[in-house]
Amino acid sequence: MSSHPGPDAPGALTVLLYSSNRRTREDVRLALGRRVARDLPPVRVEEVATQPAVLTAMDRGGVDLAILDGEAVPGGMGLCRQLKDEIRRCPPLLVLTGRPDDAWLATWSRADGVVGHPVDPVRLPAVVAQLLRGTRASSVEQA
């Protein structure tokens, strides 16, 4: 019997995932799995399909990182910039871009991380882990 802590275990990290595309949400969730790195707690992915749902989840708090689909309708890049402008201690935001030429838009959006479509099951968890490590280090410094 395995005693691996699951995503609902105390201390699990919450990743908010926004995409209007069900397939993209599924691809991201599968790429992240239960744990993005051995040195980090398990992750719990909260999927939302609309911008109002993102705003509600962010207002509620408890989000450790948000992944916003730049190809969603409406798009995640404008939402990323809005969140950075409106949330005082905004958690890290990762934007999924559709084309390499969209890198400048991700910069404009002030995203903390950028990963392109299609979802790469090696690169995505690595970038998410890097962003979450930065968040955890900041939390320890502030305590």
Q: Cα-Cα-Cα-Cα dihedral of 121, 47, 14, 63, to 10°? A: 120
CATH code that applies to domain 13-142: 3.40.50.2300
Coil, strand or helix at 130: helix
The pLDDT of residue 138 is above 90:
no
User: How far apart (Å, rounded) are the C-alpha atoms in residues 123 and 133?
Assistant: 15
Q: What is the pLDDT of residues 55-96, one digit of tens each?
A: 999 999 999 999 999 999 888 999 999 999 999 999 999 999
**Domain boundaries along the sequence of the chain:** 13-142
Residues 42/5, Cβ–Cβ less than 8 Å: yes
Closest to 77 measured CA to CA, from 64, 53, 96 = 96
How far apart are the C-alpha atoms of 93 and 95, rounded to whole Å? 7
pLDDT band at 125 (very low <50, low <70, confident <90, very high): very high
Residue 15 has pLDDT above 60, yes or no: yes
Give CA–CA dist 18/24, Å, rounded: 9
Predicted confidence band at 8 (pLDDT cuts at 50, 70, 90)? low
Per DSSP, the three-state class of 66 is strand
* Token pair of 51 as six digits: 């911008």
Q: Report angle CA 95, 99, 101 to the nearest 5 degrees.
A: 100
Q: How far apart are CA 10 and CA 13, in angstroms?
A: 9
Tell whether pTM > 0.95.
Answer: no
Higher pLDDT pick, 135 / 41: 41
